[in-house]
Amino acid sequence: MKLKMKHFLLFLFSFVPVFTSSAAPQVLNVEQDGIVGHYYQQPANSHKQPVIVLGGSEGGIPTKLAKVIAENGHPTLAVAYFKADTLPKELEKIPLAYFEKATAWLQQKHPAQKHITLVGWSKGAELALLIASRDTVFDRVIAIAPSSVVWAGILADWQTVPGSSWSQNEKELPFVAFNPTGPVEGLLDLYSQSLENRNDGGSATIPVENIRGNVVLYSGGMDEIWPSSSMAVSLCQRMTENQLSRCKRFNYPELDHLLNYKMLAPSEDLYKHFIRSVDGK
């Protein structure tokens, strides 16, 4: 299983498309700004809500997703949290305090705006839901291929057992470990078995019922990475416990983990639907 796992992780790291980008955003770095990212500013007369964009296991700055949002008029901050400049090289025990810095930076840029939108895909969707459950400044979350739990991190050394993906005050958050009990036939099988065999006592479940606002979940029925469709059902069920929370779920049976990247293509209906979600419509 370990030998196969190596190939699964290599596939996961490479799960990002290649597109061209013509935007010229402000480049941010830890030394000056406390974060690594790109900021897409809008004209002064733009009143659209600012957005923080979080990428997945590909690492680096999620410019492809951020550019689409920025081109539709939103001040957009694309935040890297590993595999970039002075940041951790791998996705493990990433401190949530880092994202508090990103939030504060964007709030300072837009003091008249009371709320911020969070957009993320895959691990970034997991992270977006986790962050929004802890801070009411986020009243809108769009999660592509979401997770209902905090997962173990992802390490290049397949022989090393990863800890939690995220940490708080130098302590790793409770997480669902990779824990298959039988042969593993792919990443989806690995995550599905691990979810069935979780031994965290429920402590790794993301408390999305604490989110004060709208959550929109997108999942693909052909997701080969993790069971995003069933986890999206679980997320919306939890949100019904709080009347201040609203959850919408859209599943596309024929699409894959990141919806075949149709949300990035202006000619696609899914692109238009995604942009309306970001706009809060």
Distance, first Cα to last Cα, the chain: 45
pLDDT score of 54: 98
What per-residue confidence (pLDDT) applies to 24? 83
Residue 11: per-residue pLDDT: 46
How many C-beta atoms lie closer than 10 Å to residue 266's C-beta? 10
d(CA 196, CA 177): 11
CA distance 196 to 156: 25
Series of mean pLDDT values for 10-residue runs along the chain (281 residues): 46 44 80 97 90 98 97 97 96 98 97 97 98 98 98 92 97 97 94 97 97 97 98 96 90 98 98 98 92
In angstroms, the Cα distances linking 171 to 97, 133, 166, 168, 213 are 12, 18, 9, 5, 28
Taking the C-alpha atoms of residue 134 and residue 212, their distance in angstroms, rounded to an integer, is 10
177-214 per-residue burial string, b: 16 or more CB within 10 A, e: under 16:
bbebeeebeebbbbbbbbbeebeeeeebbbebbbbbbb
Q: Residue 153: which of 125, 138, 132, 173 has the closest Cα?
A: 173
Strand order in the sheet with 166-168: 94-95, 166-168, 171-172
180 close to 210: Cβ distance less than 8 angstroms: no
What pLDDT is stored for residue 12 in this prediction? 53
DSSP one-letter string for 114-134: --EEEEEETHHHHHHHHHHTT
Structure confidence at residue 280 (pLDDT): 95
Model pTM?
Answer: 0.92
Cβ–Cβ under 8 Å, residues 221 and 255: yes
- Please calculate the CA angle 84-264-211 and round it to the nearest 5 degrees: 75
- Give Cα 35 distance to the centre of its chain: 17
Which tokens is 222 given?
């052909």
The identity of residue 8, as a single letter, is F
